[in-house]
Amino acid sequence: MFKLSEIKELIKLVDQTSVQELEIENEGARLLIRKPGKTEVVNVQTASVPHTYSPVAVTQAPPTSAASAPTQPAVESAATPASSGLHQIVSPMVGTFYHASSPDAAPFVNTGDRVNEKSVVCILEAMKLMNELEADVRGEIVEILVENGQLVDFGQPLFLVRPE
């Protein structure tokens, strides 16, 4: 299975090159990244869970649907703190944000917690697949910008971190 950080890195690499499509198979999992125009399509398929085969389409255009409208203010309000030296942990995909691994479990992180590059900070659910998101920076969680169970967009800031 592919790690979320690996998928993020591959999407960045494909976006920065003239490669239009990348397909990788690893340990029964298949990853397809296609770049037609300004849209990235990620298709993750796992042999062990055939009923969850579904593509996840991620667009770089701003959200226009009414369902995603409540997430806009978080993006705008997070832009100002970023200029004051805070790092934003952003969503690498469209999905549902979860603070904990289950409803009765403790949150992965709270405001004031210290994290490192390998700390899991949340789970993003996309097409019934649960994806752990790692901090990608060492520092202190200053603010959690989204609510548990909230739908998030590609590139939307989720956490503000004061880097060490």
What is the rounded average pLDDT of the residues 120-133?
91
- 100 φ/ψ sector (left φ>0, alpha ψ -120 to 50, else beta): beta
Same domain assignment for residues 47 and 70? no
Same domain assignment for residues 103 and 146? yes
Among 38, 43, 45, which Cα is nearest to 15's?
38
DSSP secondary structure letter of residue 38: T
Q: What is the pLDDT of residue 36?
A: 62
Same domain assignment for residues 27 and 92? no
Same domain assignment for residues 106 and 47? no
Entry pTM: 0.51
Among 32, 30, 25, 27, which Cα is nearest to 10's?
32
Q: Among 59, 81, 99, give the residue marking a domain's end.
A: 59
Same domain assignment for residues 74 and 47? no
Same domain assignment for residues 71 and 43? no
Q: Which domain holds residue 87?
A: 66-163
Residue 30, strand partner residues: 25, 45
CA distance 69 to 146: 13
Q: Among 30, 59, 88, give the residue marking a domain's end.
A: 59
pLDDT band at 41 (very low <50, low <70, confident <90, very high): very low
Q: What is the pLDDT of residue 114?
A: 95
Same domain assignment for residues 8 and 46? yes
Percent share of the chain, pLDDT over 70: 70
Question: What is the Cα gyration radius of the chain?
Answer: 16
CATH of the domain at 151: 2.40.50.100
Same domain assignment for residues 144 and 127? yes
Lowest mean pLDDT among 23-27, 98-102, 138-142: 23-27
